[in-house]
Amino acid sequence: MAKLARDRRRSGSSPALLKAGDVLCGKYRVERLLGEGGMGMVVAASHLMLDHAVAIKLLYADDEEAIGRLLAEARSASRLGGEHVARVIDVDIGENGLPFIVMEYLEGIDLGQVLGTKGQLPRWQVVDYVLQALEGISQAHARGIVHRDIKPQNIMLRRGSEL
């Protein structure tokens, strides 16, 4: 299944591993796609028993190395907390054999979207956003976690922040 997903991705069509209405592991109902990259996808979902929003990161790869990396990421990230880090809620392997991480759903938009609509931001605002992101990154680095994909699209600005 993972190879099929990668092949579809290379051909330009969506792998559609998860789509709206799907229920993952009997407890997470997929609402919509939030983002997609070369390694996997992130969807908004709702926890059926707790009735709250979550974000689910699903990898396309189902090899032992990828599963091991994802589980190590989930274990490490679950030890982080604070207002500048998305909290990890759960980790599991879906019925399709692909691993996933369930995280706190952050209301807002990513910095990439802000830059796309507003263009260049005032220096003071850029410094403020970078300092806040560095607080979360610093916390991760102190625990030996290296975020390998820092970019504006991976920096969330929560609703209520000055956008």
149 flagged as catalytic: yes
d(CA 50, CA 153): 28
Annotated catalytic residue, options 7, 63, 110, 149: 149
Spatial contact of 98 and 60, defined as CB atoms under 8 Å apart:
yes
8-state DSSP, 54 = E
Query: What separation, in Å, do the N-terminal and C-terminal C-alpha atoms of the chain show?
Result: 40
3-state SS class at 8: helix
Q: Specify the residue for token string 């009735």.
A: 51
For 48-82, b/e burial (b = at least 16 CB within 10 A) is: eeeeeebbbbbbbbbeeebbeebeebbeebeebee
Active site residues: 149
